[in-house]
Amino acid sequence: MSVAAPPVGVRCDRAEAWAALRGHFEAHGREFDLREAFARDPNRFAALGVEAPELYADLSKNLVDTATLHFLLDLARECGVEARRDAMFAGSAINTTEGRAVLHTALRAPRHSTLVPAEALADVHDTLDAMLAYVETARDTAASGIRHIVNIGIGGSDLGPQMVVPALDAYAHPKLTLHFVSNVDGHDIASVLRRVDPHETLFIVASKTFTTQETMANANAAKAWFVANGGTDTAKHFVATTTNIEAAAAFGITTTFGFWDWVGGRYSLWSAIGLPIALAIGADNFRALLAGAHAMDEHFASAPAAKNLPLLLGLIDVWYRNFHGFTSRSVAPYHQGLKRLPAYLQQLEMESNGKRVDLAGETLPFATSPVVWGEAGTNGQHAYFQMLHQGTDTIPVEFILVKRPTHGIAGLHGPLLEQLERQHTMLLANGLAQSQALMLGKSTDEARAEKAPTAAKDITPDTLARHRTFPGNRPSTTLLLEQLTPRSLGALIALYEHRVFTSGAVWGINSFDQWGVELGKALCNALLPRLASGDASGLDASTSGLLNRVRR
Ligand code: F6P
């Protein structure tokens, strides 16, 4: 794709809407109280609810009102967010520092879609068809003899499949076990190799560049283990997913599924990098995952701004980061299958928007990416929710609730069915209660009026009530899915991608490069021979001291 990048809009901090938002924040934002907002406006829940493909979003527990959203939408317009979005879909080289288009949306567009450039689509579909034909052969486990699939990759070549495969466990092939190896630490691959048989194992070497240190090291380890344990048919047992077909061939891999430089690593699960997903859930379900994402793409591209969910979420992120000064956001998926979603989102958001200069290279005088973190509900409740409720920081929380479970136990009925249904109701009640508690809080008077538990003798009832006070007014968003299916998961992931796009576009940064990972890689390469030789000359005192101790 060679369309030039679009002109850049006004940088957010120089926009008129930014000044208007600053005034609005001082007048109404700093002291905004959710409880009062609900009391003032009986229509608040309906007004701040958004229907998007496959999910409903309740934005009403956020520290915004319609005026805030109005100013934020003005900001998006002035910053050219919509023009930048259209340029992305059109295949412009919006990743300017790498001179690349950003077209992961083409990976999930139907063959004759007009949303993305036609010239990308033919290639995408031919490659997808070939990959899914291979998938169906490999999934015939009686014929292929494959029982274990080991994906070797890191970052974007790992986190997407590693998140999606357990999320769609109910759809997974019952006789295939998926393993993920990413860390250069040999303990990672060793624990997998101990459990598999070379004759039953398919290794996928997943790397966009096919040069990543960790992945190449683990691929070499896998190959050495395979040969040492009587594996003979390397061509059958090793495949690659990469844009660097020559390097894969040089490694000795003959079956390779390619993709393109306009697919960013953290946006690549829709490409050949999704091979482990397709192997787990099959071709039809993989296509449903793509279709769900495409539905969200259409929504982002054409829903009116005031009801455009990725746009609104990205703008609320800006509001919290730059006006309220919140430094992090916690993600709480109330579905065990989504336990790796926070890790996936960390790369998506923090590698995309953890930037400190604008597109022109000017240092930014405002904050960008928040820290994104979290854990599956209800486990997080028993770990860090204490801080969310009573700590000194306000941390917006994102609840992801799924109405209907997919337990995937064949013939589930009787007491077990009833028990699991009860547990699902408990799960939903927990999710709803947490967002309610964060918002409502509990005043010291309410705490005082409660029957107090036994405390140390010298603690007065009043002191105890203060310990048992919840400030409340802590914001959250709830995303509600009907069921966790390939299609709804596709939509959910695409929602996050476009939301990250939105805040990045407002901030005027390049959300699609990742120069920040390069320095450490280069220094590691320089240190490797020093660890062997012990040469610490010219190093800073701390690094040379540590190097000596490591070698001692
Ligand atoms: O961590 C940096 C990074 O380049 C990520 O952006 C990428 O997803 C990961 O490394 C893996 O890269 P590759 O797919 O080329 O092995």
Q: Rounded distance, CA 202 to CA 235, Å?
A: 10
Percent of the chain with pLDDT over 90: 95
pLDDT band for 1, please (50, 70, 90 cuts): low
Q: Is it the case that residue 452 has pLDDT exceeding 80?
A: no
Average pLDDT estimate for 134-159: 97
pLDDT in tens, 110-126: 999 999 999 999 999 99
The answer to whether 235 and 182 have CB atoms below 8 angstroms apart is no
Q: Is it the case that residue 2 has pLDDT exceeding 60?
A: no
419 burial type by CB count under 10 A (0-12 exposed, 13-18 middle, 19+ buried) = exposed
Q: Is it the case that residue 364 has pLDDT exceeding 60?
A: yes
- Ligand 1 atom 5: residue of nearest CA: 155
155 CA to centre of ligand 1 in angstroms: 5
446 CA to centre of ligand 1 in angstroms: 52
What is the SS3 assignment for 107-138? HHCCCCCCCCCHHHHHHHHHHHHHHHHHHHHH
pLDDT band for 8, please (50, 70, 90 cuts): confident
Q: What is the pTM (predicted TM-score) of this model?
A: 0.97
pLDDT, position 454:
78
**φ and ψ at residue 150, rounded to 5 degrees:** -115, 110
Residue 173: HSE in the Cβ half-sphere, 13 Å Cα cutoff: 26
156 CA to centre of ligand 1 in angstroms: 6
pLDDT in tens, 484-507: 999 999 999 999 999 999 999 999
- Ligand 1 atom 10: residue of nearest CA: 155
Q: Is it the case that residue 104 has pLDDT exceeding 90?
A: yes
Short-list 510, 508, 515, CA closest to 102: 510
Q: Is it the case that residue 262 has pLDDT exceeding 60?
A: yes
- Select from 162, 210, 212 the residue to mutate for testing ligand 1; criterion: most ligand atoms less than 8 Å from CB: 212
In whole angstroms, how far apart are CA 175 and each of 133, 141, 285? 19, 7, 17
pLDDT, position 325:
98
Q: Rounded distance, CA 255 to CA 249, Å?
A: 9
3-state secondary structure of 180: strand
- Select from 157, 500, 511 the residue to mutate for testing ligand 1; criterion: most ligand atoms less than 8 Å from CB: 157
- Ligand 1 atom 16: residue of nearest CA: 207
Q: Is it the case that residue 106 has pLDDT exceeding 70?
A: yes
The answer to whether 343 and 437 have CB atoms below 8 angstroms apart is no
pLDDT, position 6:
65
Q: Rounded distance, CA 307 to CA 300, Å?
A: 10
Atom of ligand 1 nearest to the CA of 153: 16
pLDDT in tens, 318-360: 999 999 999 999 999 999 999 999 999 999 999 999 999 999 9
The answer to whether 222 and 180 have CB atoms below 8 angstroms apart is no
Q: Rounded distance, CA 430 to CA 340, Å?
A: 20
Pocket flag, ligand 1, residue 154 (CB < 6 Å): yes
pLDDT band for 457, please (50, 70, 90 cuts): confident
Catalytic hit among 175, 307, 382, 403: 382
To which residue do tokens 């969200």 refer?
Answer: 296
Q: Is it the case that residue 72 has pLDDT exceeding 80?
A: yes
Pocket flag, ligand 1, residue 44 (CB < 6 Å): no
